[in-house]
Chain A
Amino acid sequence: MATTESDLGGPADLSEDEQRAVEAQLLRLADDELVQAERYTFWQVRAPTLESDLSISNNAQDELGHARLWYDAVQQLGYSEESLIYESDPSDFQHSTLVELPFAEGDWADAIVRAYLYDVAEDIRLSALEDSSYEIIRNRTSRIQGEEGYHLEHAESWLDRMALDEEASERVQAAIDELYPYALTLFEPVGDVEADIDRLGIRTMTLDEMRTEWETRVESFLTELGFAVPTDAAPATPAGRDNEHTDHWHDLHEEMTASYRNLGRDEATLIMAADDE
């Protein structure tokens, strides 16, 4: 557990090793949220009902807001939104490949299963960051936790409902089978920096501990609903965390950054007031 003695302080107080570890933790948070949001936004004006459209839009905007907070924390270490997103190479990103996978039009089961697997992992990750030795991570984690709680309820409530329907159950099961190995990549390491992240108290659970908790929770909830969970699956490759991505990510990144390039921009527009903490 992090204590005040081991507090890393602010951006200016970090040693080179500390900064490397903080950055590695922040980047995966930012990238995961951005790409998860990007896939959520696909469902805007395409969800099954107006009501589900409004809910999924809320999730998308929450995740975009979280991505913004995490990228902003990375920027305090000397980066820019342009270099991190719009002018970067797709292989600079470290999000899990779970969030970048495409899905068939109308595959609402994919949207819900993906959200569920991600949101449980996010819940665990945030609890492992709430006592982080890096103050900016601690503060922002507590701001985000409430919203992520709603996301989990949203996904679970849809799963409850789909479990009662035969056709929907089949679709959910297919999504679980496909996505589970990709979800495991959420707990894959980013190079050799993980030991430092743990040692410095930036995160208070190891990746293994987080994965174990995730497996237990996911298995127990989904089994209860009558679904089979592929517990002996190995993490999918590419993992994303190691900067290796599927071609789908390259396509998505291309599309996300096309306007920026076509307009010849060299600055990502800020329109909201700067964060006061």
Chain B
Amino acid sequence: MNVDEVKARAGPREFSPKDDLPEEYRQAATRMLEFHANSEIMGAYLERPFIRQAPSIERKMAFSAKVQDEIGHGQMLYRAAESLGVKTREEMLDDLANGDGKFLNCFHYPMESYVETPMIAFFVDGAAMRRQATLKKSSWEPYAHAMDKICFEEGMHVKHGESILRELMNGSRREQRMTQEAFEEWWPRILQFFGPTDDQSTHHDFAAEVGLKTCTNDELRNAFLNTYIPKAKKYGLEMPDEPRIRDNGDGTYEVVEDDLDWDEFFTVSQNEYDGSIEQISGRRQAQEAVQWVRDMMDDQTTTNSGPQTQAAD
């Protein structure tokens, strides 16, 4: 198939590993899936400390389960990415460790206090849900298929985040104040989650033409704001004066782009922000520390010297 044929046929779940797809399509799909998978891993890495710090056993269980789900999503998405034949999972994980792998802007910022956790688990995951729901119609069938399970679990994560937010905003004045401060710090990053407005996005056109993306950044941002501004207000959060958001009154919004720090956004997306370096290095160090285990497993696979019973995982 050439690119024109792909564009002509493009539709939900249209292409699978059985199809002979042009390099350009496979590259674009790999780039999206790798970014998505990396984001799952780095999101989990960011939230991990709150398994320990969560203020009750049941909250601990929820955090542990959520972090585990994200790793499971990463696993599924790397598999869907590998099936395009461009990069192996090992190459993608190596790139993530050495700082070449890209991931969502929000996961480049340190998270130090428990009150920040719903900024990720409610707002960022809520934003991610918007995007992910549209990916069930991706033209790359393995991607769309992975999204069926992932969307279901992400729905649980958003409920978890919402429950924490509700509890904090019904808590002491101190808790409410701390949560409002966290919201003001995270809100601009959350708005940037959807990237620059469409005319500035570089990869959108091709991805849309071949059915890898089914909605524009602006459509997704509008859908998110329509749902989440009322929710934020319902829980007692005050919208910051800036960045300015104009309600067009027809279900659409305009975010005043000049109120957002796009230099920071592009520094973040190049993995060059202070937080990027901290998150990436921390995870790389943890991964290098267990390299000896992976070496052992590789040796046993190649020499077939592993135990003959059920393999350890």
Q: Of the 9-residue stretches A20-28, A138-146, A231-239, A262-270, which lies at the interface with chain B?
A: A262-270
In Å, the complex CA distance between A259 and B112 comes to: 10
B56 touches A38 (CB 8 A): no
Indicate which residue in A48, A107, A157 contacts B297 across the interface (CB closer than 8 Å).
A48
Most chain B CB inside 10 Å of its own CB: which residue of A47, A53, A157: A53
B307 touches A255 (CB 8 A): no
In Å, the complex CA distance between A111 and B188 comes to: 40
B residues 273-307 in Cβ contact with A at 8 Å: 283, 285-294, 296-297, 299-300, 305-307
Closest-by-CB residue of A relative to B51 is A41
* A19 within 8 Å of B (CB atoms): no
Indicate which residue in B53, B61, B293 contacts A108 across the interface (CB closer than 8 Å).
B293
Indicate which residue in B58, B167, B293 contacts A168 across the interface (CB closer than 8 Å).
B293
Closest-by-CB residue of B relative to A168 is B296
B57 touches A44 (CB 8 A): no
Indicate which residue in B58, B115, B307 contacts A272 across the interface (CB closer than 8 Å).
B58
Contact partners of B55 in chain A: CB under 8 A: 86, 257, 259-260, 263, 265, 268-269
In Å, the complex CA distance between A154 and B313 comes to: 8
- Map CB proximity to A onto B150-171 as digits: 1 under 8 Å, 0 otherwise: 0000000000000100011001
A48 touches B294 (CB 8 A): yes
* A152 within 8 Å of B (CB atoms): no
- Map CB proximity to B onto A194-226 as digits: 1 under 8 Å, 0 otherwise: 000000000000000000000000000000000
A41 touches B52 (CB 8 A): yes
B56 touches A44 (CB 8 A): no
Closest-by-CB residue of A relative to B55 is A260
Closest-by-CB residue of A relative to B308 is A160
CB of A84, distance to nearest CB on chain B (Å)? 10
Contact partners of A38 in chain B: CB under 8 A: 52
Contact partners of B233 in chain A: CB under 8 A: none
Indicate which residue in A41, A54, A165, A265 contacts B72 across the interface (CB closer than 8 Å).
A54
B312 touches A270 (CB 8 A): no
* B226 within 8 Å of A (CB atoms): no
A41 touches B64 (CB 8 A): yes
B313 touches A51 (CB 8 A): yes
Q: Of the 9-residue stretches A64-72, A89-97, A120-128, which lies at the interface with chain B?
A: A64-72
In Å, the complex CA distance between A68 and B56 comes to: 10
* A50 within 8 Å of B (CB atoms): yes
A164 touches B307 (CB 8 A): yes
In Å, the complex CA distance between A60 and B289 comes to: 21
Interface of A is mostly: helix
B45 touches A57 (CB 8 A): no
Q: How many residues of B contact A (CB 8 A)?
A: 60
Contact partners of A64 in chain B: CB under 8 A: 57, 60-61, 64
Given A45-B286, A61-B65, A160-B312, residue A264 in contact with residue B175 (CB < 8 A): yes
Given A44-B51, A268-B57, residue A50 in contact with residue B71 (CB < 8 A): yes
Closest-by-CB residue of B relative to A61 is B64
* A167 within 8 Å of B (CB atoms): yes
Q: How many residues of A contact B (CB 8 A)?
A: 60
In Å, the complex CA distance between A255 and B52 comes to: 7
B312 touches A161 (CB 8 A): yes
* B210 within 8 Å of A (CB atoms): no
Contact partners of B299 in chain A: CB under 8 A: 165
B75 touches A162 (CB 8 A): no
Given A47-B290, A85-B57, A256-B53, residue A61 in contact with residue B68 (CB < 8 A): yes
Given A61-B65, A86-B55, A256-B52, residue A48 in contact with residue B71 (CB < 8 A): no
* B147 within 8 Å of A (CB atoms): no
B297 touches A164 (CB 8 A): no
* B311 within 8 Å of A (CB atoms): yes
A44 touches B68 (CB 8 A): yes
**Residues of chain B whose beta carbon lies under 8 Å from any beta carbon of chain A:** 41, 44-45, 48, 50-62, 64-65, 67-68, 71-72, 74-75, 78, 113-115, 163, 167-168, 171-172, 174-175, 178, 283, 285-294, 296-297, 299-300, 305-307, 309-313
9 more contacts with CB within 8 A, not counting A41-B60, A61-B68, are: A45-B67, A48-B294, A50-B75, A86-B55, A108-B293, A160-B307, A165-B300, A171-B292, A262-B113
CB pairs A–B below 8 angstroms (11 shown): A38-B52, A41-B64, A46-B287, A48-B290, A55-B313, A57-B64, A60-B51, A108-B293, A269-B55, A269-B58, A271-B59
